[in-house]
Amino acid sequence: MQEDIIKAYVEECVMERVLSYKKLWKLLIDRELNKVELQRITGISSATITKLAKCQTVNTRAIIQICNALDCNVADIMEMAESNSVKTIVPNERV
């Protein structure tokens, strides 16, 4: 006898690529600067600093302002990093 309903629980590891600004924070430490000083020398808003701290996307203009102020390249302040997230897929299909 065939089952009418098949229930399966599958955990699938999904690799996502996210922006990381860890290099920026390391560079600031190396240069003995803090977030407030970064804001002052770049002219970027506190909201943008918060977005950077939360690894959220920011306007390209802000990235350019940071690079100009710190005399560095984009690759010196940010990188693409992998982030694991787990999805649970619960199919419920009739056979």
Q: In this structure, are residues 62 and 38 in contact, taking their beta carbons and an 8 Å threshold?
A: no
Q: In this structure, are residues 51 and 38 in contact, taking their beta carbons and an 8 Å threshold?
A: no
Residue 33 pLDDT > 60: yes
Distance CA 63, CA 48 (A): 10
Total-model pTM:
0.69
Distance CA 69, CA 91 (A): 52
**What number is the average pLDDT over the span 68-95?**
70
Residue 93 pLDDT > 60: no
